[in-house]
Amino acid sequence: MLYPKHLAIIPDWNRTRAKTNNKTIPEAYMISYQKWVELINYTFTQTDIKIFTLWWLSTDNGKKRPKEEFDFLMNMYKLVDDDLDTILVNNKVNFKRIWNPDWITQDFKEYLNKKVEMTKCNSDKYFVFAINYWWRDEIIRWIQKLSKDKKDLSEISEEEISKSLELWDIETIELVIRTKWDQAQRTSGFMSRWIWYAELYFTAKKCPEFGVEEYKEALNRFDKMADKRNYWK
């Protein structure tokens, strides 16, 4: 079976699920995050996928969240991360984060930076955590970086642009999965630089109903499409 080298998931519907299932929003987020940990474990123990990216919060949505909810999201991972850390370390998976650091609390910045160092290993496997991420912020950050490194921007090459990005050294995304297809058949500006040629899989399941069984269906569909993927040929 042919697996994508890099797979990304855009989860959706946490807040609505909380309202319709008599759960608090923190409870809904906790249930969802634990579900994604199960998928991460399946990915790195049962497949040949090298990179798993999870877009947990966009910068735009973060700005709209009440302060109490935003603060919870900045702290909840410390409550549930033991299982994730075990998965990453046991399977030699590097942790990376992509974010707008200006909107992240200092405590959470330090927490994620320590996780990067703790899991750093000599392997080609990565779990990428997109938190408070928005593609426009990313463009601004790489322009700022290039302007500091190179005064004459007219001479910038495509290679220099690529290397100025936060995840310049990893494979582009080959499969994007998004939940809540009936209301969101779009990528919402997610990692535009990495999904140019990605297959898109929209599932009717809402977060966190999307589980391992439908995850397998998405991977099987990618495998069946493999012969038709004739990019650059």
Per the domain annotation, does 65 fall within a domain?
A: yes
Per the domain annotation, does 221 fall within a domain?
A: yes
Amino acid identity at 23? K
Do the beta carbons of residue 63 and residue 103 sit within 8 Å?
yes
d(CA 137, CA 203): 28
Per the domain annotation, does 165 fall within a domain?
A: no
Per the domain annotation, does 90 fall within a domain?
A: yes
Task: Match 């579900």 to its residue by tokens.
Answer: 35
Tokens representing residue 104 in the block? 């992240």
Q: What is the DSSP string of 8-62?
A: EEE---HHHHHHHTT--HHHHHHHHHHHHHHHHHHHHHHS---EEEEEEEEHHHH
Say what the pLDDT of residue 165 is. Answer: 65
Per the domain annotation, does 26 fall within a domain?
A: yes
Torsion angle of alpha carbons 11, 90, 5, 158, nearest 10°? 90
Per the domain annotation, does 162 fall within a domain?
A: no
Domain, as residue range, for 127: 6-134+172-228
d(CA 93, CA 90): 8
Task: Match 């630089």 to its residue by tokens.
Answer: 193
> What are the b/e assignments for 66-81, b being 16+ CB within 10 Å?
eeeebebbbeebeeee
Per the domain annotation, does 158 fall within a domain?
A: no
Per the domain annotation, does 151 fall within a domain?
A: no
Do the beta carbons of residue 21 and residue 68 sit within 8 Å?
no
Residue 60 Cα to chain centre, angstroms: 16
Q: Which residues contact 18 (CB under 8 A, 6 or more apart)?
A: 24, 25, 27, 28
Q: What is the CATH number of the domain that holds 13?
A: 3.40.1180.10
Tokens representing residue 96 in the block? 């990376």
Would you write out the chain's pLDDT as a tens digit for each of its 233 residues? 999 999 999 887 556 666 666 777 777 778 888 888 999 999 999 999 999 999 877 666 667 778 887 788 777 777 767 789 999 999 999 999 888 877 778 888 898 899 999 999 999 999 999 887 766 677 777 777 777 766 666 777 777 766 666 677 788 889 999 886 555 566 666 777 777 788 999 988 877 788 999 999 999 999 998 777 665 45
Do the beta carbons of residue 231 and residue 199 sit within 8 Å?
no
Sheet strands side by side (includes 6-10)? 94-99, 126-133, 51-58, 6-10, 175-178, 199-202
Domain count, the chain: 1
